[in-house]
Structure 1
């Protein structure tokens, strides 16, 4: 299992850790190589994002020492680079690549720019619209380097060496070229928390940024004073938009167990995203706690939330619809949410799907 950790830890890192544990519990021998975020820093970092010779050599060394059946790559950017895919393929091993973001179709990996969804670079061999823009990390040079890396590896056929692309949702699989072999395997929560008792409040857990719909959240609680208290867990540049809003409490970044406990004691969890969510880990965590979700119909969220059953879907940027949905959540949705988790997102259900992906890669 190969993974480059993010500079700002988030849902992807949690998903990789969870997946590794669940596979081990399912009887799979998992040998992990996790690159710390500081390994991607230093002179020449952007060039190494396109081709990291040392990372490729280290992968070869580990493969020869550990002799795995499959090389499963999670996040490779910017610390590892797609050189690791080519190195594994040259050794004759199947390569599985999990895509938990939009990296292979968008240099910023977000499909979001200047406060709005952006698909300017999708389906282009070279993401030329991104040149000169600061889509990734607010840095024009970094964005151009990311676009160049994607173009180089598409042109030299690196992605054709991937045996299977694992996507957490149909939304992610749908934007990939039709010739790329895909499998949809959702993210999981493990260990699963016990269902919570519920309550009268509402929880938001995630980055406090514009694409996450924090502005709509602030507007809803500012305009609708009859809404229940909102507990906010997370950090980001839009924290100031919520600071001082009546009924809103900012907790900042807290331990994961504390966030899950808050979800279990909530009436609902809100996911007001505006960008096309590749998955929506907060939704599945809420379901694990037995808490329904009020979410926008953005990206993969409609695949997760069964509207009117496990929660409610609302249009993006509609604070009035968001407020109405919070009031409309019913107690019956709690049971439905937990049932959905157990049937679709629990480790004993999801881990075998991934094991089957490995088996299919090893079958001639």
Structure 2
């Protein structure tokens, strides 16, 4: 099978880039794979890319040349925003190549892409014919102009039927799948399939949980409001159990202030994966207090692979991934007191119970999030789409 992957890199590397790299490496073990990469630029080049995003003929030409050169059996699109644009889908279909697209975020149903704005969930656009309220608020980059231009691009291609041309949309959780089905995007339910991401590492704790780990919790992630950093710090401030924080972002100074006033909180900065794995395999639980729906947090997958239970907010993707009492616990989203009480209760449990949840976390990984299972799921999706395309000719 010949697979052409199309991916638009943002200015700052993120989780989507990691997933694309992992899937490309995984597929290359058994298939012929080529990556056609685009990059968002800064300054006037970025403005030019944004202006042409509704119909980027230059990007379209690159896609057309790649198809003619590589002759793929299928195209897998990960991100089109904004240096490529939806023209890639139309070019692929015009060239007679079936298209699969992974929905890493919610951009097709809301210009915010995260369904989060100004400290709270923003779901007003889900059923809107055109997201005028999102435009008025400037939910994309806090800019009305950018929000309008993105919304217009999505709306135009909805009217032109571009989104219907994609043969299959891959959602990362059933929760996200249902959001898209119920939205005003208008793509039929049968075009969606759920396939989670996978953990690239298979390193797990090599010892049972014991008393030495009872006061050591861990947070890993970008230090932003939507990740629940303020809730996390409030919940752990002045407590007698320890929290280690790993990551970087706009709220770094807020974390540093908390470290100065609460000796139980330690900030380790941004770390490479090699340094993070030992932390995951030695902590008593991973804390994940996100207050937006998330796509599929890679940190949770890494925790499950390590056999580490997760205490997460009862919301969106986390609700789909964390089974309360089986591989972790859930708490009321945005509620620092609820998180604090869960942490206290956790410390009152015995080692056997924590080990039970750790085993459940590891089992979740082995059943759902291994590279091998992901490889089989991708092959099944590609095979079904290619066969359906051939029958339709």
What band does the TM-score fall into relative to the shorter chain? over 0.9
Which stretches of structure 1, 4 residues or longer, exceed 6 Å deviation after superposition?
none
CA contact (8 A) 2:11 2:42 kept: no
User: Which residue number in structure 2 is paired with residue 331 of structure 1?
Assistant: 355
The 1:48–1:262 alpha-carbon spacing in structure 2 relative to 1, beyond 3 Å, is farther
Give 1:79-94 correspondences, 5 Å limit: 79-94=83-98
* Runs of 5+ unmatched residues, structure 1: none
User: Which residue number in structure 2 is paired with residue 108 of structure 1?
Assistant: 112
Cα drift, residue 239 of structure 1: 2.1
Cα drift, residue 355 of structure 1: 0.9
Give the distance between the partners of 1:212 and 1:196, measured in 2 at CA: 30
TM-score, normalized by length of structure 2?
A: 0.87
How many positions carry a matched residue from both structures? 361
From 316, 334, 358, the counterpart of 2:382: 358
User: Which residue number in structure 2 is paired with residue 285 of structure 1?
Assistant: 302
Report the 3-state secondary structure (helix = DSSP H, G, I; strand = E; otherwise coil) of the residue aligned with 1:251: strand
Give the distance between the partners of 1:43 and 1:306, measured in 2 at CA: 44
User: Which residue number in structure 2 is paired with residue 302 of structure 1?
Assistant: 319
Q: Does 1:250 pair with 2:264?
A: no
Q: Provide the alpha-carbon RMSD of the alignment.
A: 1.7
From 129, 140, 144, the counterpart of 2:144: 140
User: Which residue number in structure 2 is paired with residue 347 of structure 1?
Assistant: 371
User: Which residue number in structure 2 is paired with residue 219 of structure 1?
Assistant: 234
From 314, 321, 326, the counterpart of 2:331: 314
Report the 3-state secondary structure (helix = DSSP H, G, I; strand = E; otherwise coil) of the residue aligned with 2:25: helix
Give the distance between the partners of 1:122 and 1:302, measured in 2 at CA: 20
**Bigger Cα displacement from structure 2, 163-172 vs 234-243:** 234-243
Give the distance between the partners of 2:14 and 2:206, measured in 1 at CA: 23
Give the distance between the partners of 1:328 and 1:264, measured in 2 at CA: 21
* Runs of 5+ unmatched residues, structure 2: 182-186, 347-353
TM-score, normalized by length of structure 1?
A: 0.94
Cα drift, residue 29 of structure 1: 1.6
> Would you tell me which structure has more helix in proportion to its own residues?
2
CA contact (8 A) 1:196 1:290 kept: no
Give the distance between the partners of 2:265 and 2:68, measured in 1 at CA: 54
CA contact (8 A) 2:205 2:282 kept: no
Give the distance between the partners of 1:64 and 1:344, measured in 2 at CA: 36
**Bigger Cα displacement from structure 2, 55-64 vs 40-49:** 40-49
From 164, 167, 173, the counterpart of 2:171: 167
Cα drift, residue 144 of structure 1: 1.4
CA contact (8 A) 1:196 1:289 kept: no
